[in-house]
Amino acid sequence: MINMTDYKKRIFEVNSNDEFEKFCMIAFDYQMQHNPVYKLYSDHILKKQTPKNIYQIPFLPIEFFKSKKIICKSKNEEIKFLSSGTQGTQSKHYVADMKLYQKSFEKSFEKFYGNIDDYCFLALLPTYSENKNSSLIYMINHFINKTKNSGSGFYISNYDELDHVVGKVEKLNRKIILFGVTYALLDFAKNYKRKLKNTIVMETGGMKGTRKELLKEEVHQILKSSFSINSIHSEYGMTELLSQSYSYGNNNFNTPNWMKVIIRDVNDPFTFIENKTGGINIIDLANIYSCPFIATQDLGKKNPDNSFSLLGRFSEADVRGCNLLIQ
């Protein structure tokens, strides 16, 4: 068993499936020794069997983050993140190592987009800004402070100022990443059409608040047309994780080397499938002090190039059915 200092360094250097699987087994052993909630759940599932590969490791249903404190023994949270939603329905993520969290999201970003300092970060996140315990807000704020690029910042609903900054930075031929919730990006695009040359538009989800339900493809087409760009990028992360996946467009998300998506059968959460739509299970090796093995409520499909597509969420009835398995 390697010590945690080495583990936290070496997971970011993983470059093969065998190496990834080795660290998964180390993470599983650590969880069984130090995470009482995960151990209780896994003991119930495994019935004294020992996993021999990652497909035999139990994945903790994400619903547990709403009702249980998921953190390893002898660890204290340095910060608590809350998901959006009303009190009682919010997931709570107790992060015990902020340096590890920062390293994880910095390396995730830099793997797919390069040096953070090269970008001006603009954030159009009206509702998220009301949630001071949002992990997304924390990450983007960290990027804004780290880059120190003039104009970087949060733009709640002041579209005039945002448009002015975009135009100014574009003229300087500097790279921009515009993070935004879907409905705010649509509002901005409707009234501030312009041709973007150096700007990546990255949606972070959030269709609530739109006047009518639109398909993701429709949203992306509206945004591409308004800004004269070829693709809309997306960020896929969640309160309960430390790492992120990114899409360059077409709804195909790529994971960093210390993260993996496995698809489970919708009717049997302990069976894994290929080339079909199913529930998304995530391994995030950086999430070692919380839980690295999480069964989400998202639906998706693995692609031949090892990316995955995000295809929606389980219905409430499906979720209730899954919960019956763990009561």
Per-residue pLDDT of the chain (327 residues; tens, 9 = 90+): 689 999 999 999 999 999 999 999 999 999 999 999 999 999 999 998 999 999 999 999 999 999 999 999 989 999 999 987 756 688 999 999 999 999 999 999 999 999 999 999 999 987 666 778 899 999 999 999 999 788 899 998 789 999 999 999 999 999 999 999 888 999 999 999 999 999 999 998 766 555 566 778 888 999 999 999 999 999 999 999 999 999 999 889 999 999 999 999 998 988 999 889 999 999 999 999 999 999 999 999 999 999 999 988 886 545 444 443 443
Q: What is the pLDDT of residue 253?
A: 96
Q: How far apart are CA 231 and CA 326, in angstroms?
A: 41
What was the pLDDT predicted at 320? 42
Can you give the pLDDT at residue 208? 58
Domain(s) of CATH 3.40.50: residues in the chain: 100-236
Contact indicator for 297, 62 with CB cutoff of 8 Å: yes
Give residue 326's pLDDT.
Answer: 42
Residue bearing tokens 């002015």: 164
Please report, for residues 84, 163, 239, the alpha-carbon distance to residue 320 in angstroms, rounded to integers and kept in the order given.
Answer: 20, 44, 21
321 token code pair: 């059915």
Rg from Cα positions in the chain? 20
CA-nearest of 256, 238, 236 to 247 is 236
pTM beyond cutoff 0.75: yes
CATH architecture of 100-236: 3-Layer(aba) Sandwich (3.40)
Q: What is the pLDDT of residue 210?
A: 52
> How far from chain centre, in Å, is Cα 203?
12
Partnered with residue 284 across adjacent β-strands are 259
- For residue 264, the surrounding DSSP H or E stretch is strand 259-264
How far does CA 251 lie from the centroid of its chain? 14
Strand, coil or helix: what is 310?
strand
Instruction: Give residue 269's pLDDT.
Output: 87
Distance CA 147, CA 230 (A): 26
